[in-house]
Amino acid sequence: MEAIIEHQGGVEFAVRTRGHRLITDQPVESGGADGGMTPPELLLASLGACAGHYAAEYLRARSLPSAGLRVRVSAEKALQPARLTGFLVDVELPALEDLRHQEGILRAVKRCLIHNTLFHAPAIDVRLHAVAAAAV
């Protein structure tokens, strides 16, 4: 799995992966043009989309309705070191007659790849590579 992120100027970046492209930026009050989500917002979106996927798969596999499935993710910002902390994943479900499915959906959501990645902190290696500027 890989994503390529290229600086577009200012505080805007283009992210490419598997032929898809999106823009990240900062709000105007942080020096950006607000042309896209911020990197922390992308992290929240990734966690929420993953949780939603696992919940929807649980419902689909049991031929249960998924209309109205919605996920809201929030986190607090902490300092020193700067990071997000205290994530809350709030999954809104369609009404289900059998309450045992709520427990099943909770287990499914907790198996989400992004949830598990954040829950079991991975090693992150940062490497720098200087490249010569292209001749014009």
Give the tens place of pLDDT for each residue, 17-38: 999 999 999 999 999 999 999 9
Distance separating alpha carbons of residues 95 and 88, to the nearest angstrom = 21
Domains of the chain by residue range: 1-36, 39-136
CATH topology of domain 39-136: GMP Synthetase; Chain A, domain 3 (3.30.300)
Give the tens place of pLDDT for each residue, 34-83: 999 999 999 999 999 999 999 999 999 999 999 999 999 999 999 999 99
* % of residues, the chain, pLDDT over 90: 90
